[in-house]
Chains A and B, each alone.
Chain A
Amino acid sequence: MTDASIPVVPEDGQGQEQERRVLDVRQGLFHASTTSDVSGYNDMTWYVEMPQASRRPYGGWYDGFVDRLRGLVGDPDEAISSVVVDRGEITLFIDRAHLAEVARVLRDDPMLRFESCPSVSGVHYPTDRGAELHAVYHLLSMTHNRRIRLEVTCPDADPHIPSVVATYPTADWHERETYDFFGIIFDGHPALTRIEMPDDWPGHPQRKDYPLGGIPVEFHGATNSPVHERRDYNS
């Protein structure tokens, strides 16, 4: 449903234009496509729009941190595609080709020292063309008591992201889980196998194109369809 002609609008008083991260455009409120619209809600149009890249100053220690990281990465403009500060949390969008380098710098530099990677998870945005699969890394610096988030994207057609297990051994199971649930292949992982689902399971269950599951429940003279086929809300 993505509309290619999404308007790019001025975002601040300086008249600078910034790309909005519109992932989807939706119509209406209910799945009432088979009946006539008596609610008026079907005229609604709304954009699924994720928080967009932030401008400096980011606030707090975020500016110094980003400067330090940019100074230590070989090609900062390419490696760090954008910085999003939203709700007090900082997210760095990292180009996948540079993830291993960035992770190593984040861990080893004494002023950054993100020595722990508490969590890796995936998010599937089927409408984010060319970047359908996102791997989200939460990093923790126990030395400086700071947290950051890295987000790395890859297209569905080429679901490869370099593994960070060489830097963060704790990411081993997290990456296996993300592979299991989303099909992201973490190149360089020591043993990338399924972890939660059976080894011969078809498909990757947390993807949006994978149904919730469930089988039709049969009653006398009637059938209750699987959950994902029932009428539900658009939103």
Chain B
Amino acid sequence: MSTEFHDEDILDDTTTQDDPYRQAGDPEVGNVYYADGGDWDDIVEAQAERGDETIVVNMGPQHPSTHGVLRVLLELDGETVTDARIGIGYLHTGIEKSMEYRTWAQGVTLCTRMDYLTPFFQEVSYSLGVERLLGIEDDIPEKATTMRVLLMEMNRIVNHLVAIGTTGNEMGATTVMTVAFREREVIFDMLEMITGLRMNHGFIRPGGVANDLPAGAIPKLREMSAWLHTHLPEIGGLCDDNPIFRARLDNGIGYLDLTGCVALGVTGPPLRATGIDWDLRRKQPYCGYETYDFDVITDDGCDSYARYVVRRDEMFQALRIVDQAIDRLEKMDGQRVMVNDPKIALPAQLTVGPDGQGNSNEHIRHIMGESMEALIHHFKLVTEGFQVPPGQAYVPVESPKGELGAHVVSDGGTRPYRAHFRDPSFVNLQAYPAMVIGGMLSDVSVAGASLDPVMGGVDR
């Protein structure tokens, strides 16, 4: 068999015997088919003659239905999946390593980019871990904690909208996605108003949040809530009794029961879709979640439809929490949003100038014109950062996808010695083969969508 590669080999015949990409020394793998520049019918016919053999399909890492750069190696017998393997790492960017070279406060800016659909949850988990190391957990202002809850629950709705919308889109139901993304924009407008950015906010910092609510935020948040109360039910109206949607998701598609979930570490909606009410907001509360009134949604279907039901109803519970957080924030006008410790909190609060951004003029007047010590202090805090006592902490939060925890280790310096993120997408993806083996090829992308993986979080 020739190992030389000629273009005409492929162009002449899509069902070539030779694999032009095969290197000397690689094992022979039999027939190799190419789906480029040819006709699918030729491949089907050629394989039909050899019906006794299984076929290995390499789905991804550029396949549109794999939620990003996920590679699934499927072994097929006809249309039945006999084996599946997951290949990840195509989006690995070394965020954890980069964090070791930046200050503790700058770490937020990096970890928010891991799972780009749930930025606030990485920020909160990391910040809670750093606050535990600093020993200032009890000193975080109530307003900062309430703003964290507000932002996290808005983020939860955004994430579930994308999860449900892309699930519909992968089955060809584009309307589900357009409706979901419309509501998402409404929330993004609010997030932009509060944090300045639609995604990758870097807004929740160790010690509190970066800035107070802007003027007029409460009425606008109420408008958003009213809009969502009106329009979120459209998702259910589109999907619940839709026979095609039910046929593609219901009746054991992507089945994974409680035993499988616990053994494989699956958390979040896939776990609650097995009937157990495991939600860290309720079981191991943080950020004062025990003071909010909400229900933990469960379903006992164990399949893709049950996960959809859990996500759909969780959005309304998140909206309940958003409403309660807005009510509380309304009464907290003018309170601090950063811990009252000048060795940790940046002294300046940003104020928005005519160009849409800017520093506090009063603070600049103070450090530039009045106090040399304040200038030195500001400079040290920004460039060197604050020191964190040695030790390690792990504070998990209930992200929309499951348990998200930052394991932060300090050696007493001004930068994380090690920051490791237990990302729920990473762990949940392990269950993918267990969900699709033995099923049909057409269910593979539905089962994947029901896990709602985001490769930015998987690969970090």
Contact = CB atoms under 8 A, between A and B. Distances in A.
Interface residues of A, number: 50
Interface in B413-437: 413-415, 417-418, 420, 422, 426-427, 429-430
Contacts of B263: 168-170
A89 B418 CA distance: 17
A136 B408 CA distance: 11
B391 A51 contact: yes
Interface stretch (A74-82, A96-104, A117-125): A117-125
A46 B265 CA distance: 41
Contact of A119 (B390, B394, B415): B394
Given A50-B391, A118-B405, A138-B405, A196 B420 contact: no
A145 B284 contact: yes
B113 to A, nearest CB: 16
B214 interface: no
B194 interface: no
A210 to B, nearest CB: 8
Contact of B420 (A49, A121, A168, A173): A121
B411 to A, nearest CB: 5
Interface stretch (B86-94, B143-151, B156-164): B86-94
Contacts, number: 123
Contacts of A159: none
A197 B97 contact: no
A118 B101 contact: no
B307 interface: no
A51 B410 CA distance: 11
B108 interface: no
B403 A118 contact: yes
A109 interface: no
Interface string B264-302: 111100000000101000011000000000000000000
A87 B108 CA distance: 22
Contact of A50 (B264, B390, B393): B390
B98 A87 contact: no
B185 interface: no
B122 to A, nearest CB: 14
Contacts of B409: 123
Given A123-B418, A195-B89, A206-B96, A235 B412 contact: yes
B96 A212 contact: no
A213 B407 CA distance: 23
A4 to B, nearest CB: 19
A86 interface: yes
Contacts of A227: 101
B412 A170 contact: no
B448 interface: no
Nearest to A49: B390
A142 interface: yes
A91 interface: yes
A121 B135 contact: no
Contacts of A234: 413
Contact of A197 (B89, B264, B405): B89
B428 to A, nearest CB: 10
Interface in A163-180: 168-170, 172-174, 177
Interface in A65-98: 86-89, 91
Interface string A108-133: 00000001111101111000000000
B360 interface: no
A173 B88 CA distance: 10
A198 interface: yes
Given A118-B405, A145-B284, A51 B97 contact: no
Contacts of B411: 23-24, 48, 50
Given A51-B391, A138-B407, A170 B430 contact: yes
A169 B278 CA distance: 20
A128 to B, nearest CB: 11
Nearest to B135: A87
B98 A119 contact: no
B410 to A, nearest CB: 9
Nearest to B101: A212
B459 interface: yes
A46 B412 CA distance: 10
A195 B446 CA distance: 24
A235 B405 contact: no
B427 A118 contact: yes
A233 interface: yes
B262 interface: yes
B133 interface: yes
A98 to B, nearest CB: 22
A205 B88 CA distance: 17
A48 B264 contact: no
B384 A233 contact: yes
A140 B266 CA distance: 13
B387 interface: yes
A204 B426 CA distance: 20
B132 interface: yes
A31 interface: no
A188 to B, nearest CB: 17
Nearest to A146: B284
Contacts of A48: 390, 411-412
A142 B460 CA distance: 27
Interface in A182-225: 194-198, 205-206, 212-213
> Which 7 pairs across A and B sit closest by C-beta, in order of nearness?
A170-B265, A121-B420, A119-B422, A235-B413, A196-B92, A196-B89, A48-B411
21 contacts: A50-B411, A89-B392, A91-B392, A121-B407, A121-B422, A123-B392, A138-B394, A138-B407, A142-B276, A145-B284, A147-B284, A169-B263, A170-B263, A170-B265, A173-B427, A177-B426, A196-B88, A196-B89, A212-B97, A212-B98, A213-B97
Given A51-B390, A196-B92, A197-B92, 16 more contacts: A24-B411, A48-B412, A49-B390, A49-B412, A118-B267, A118-B405, A121-B420, A124-B418, A145-B283, A169-B263, A174-B427, A195-B88, A195-B89, A212-B101, A213-B97, A235-B412
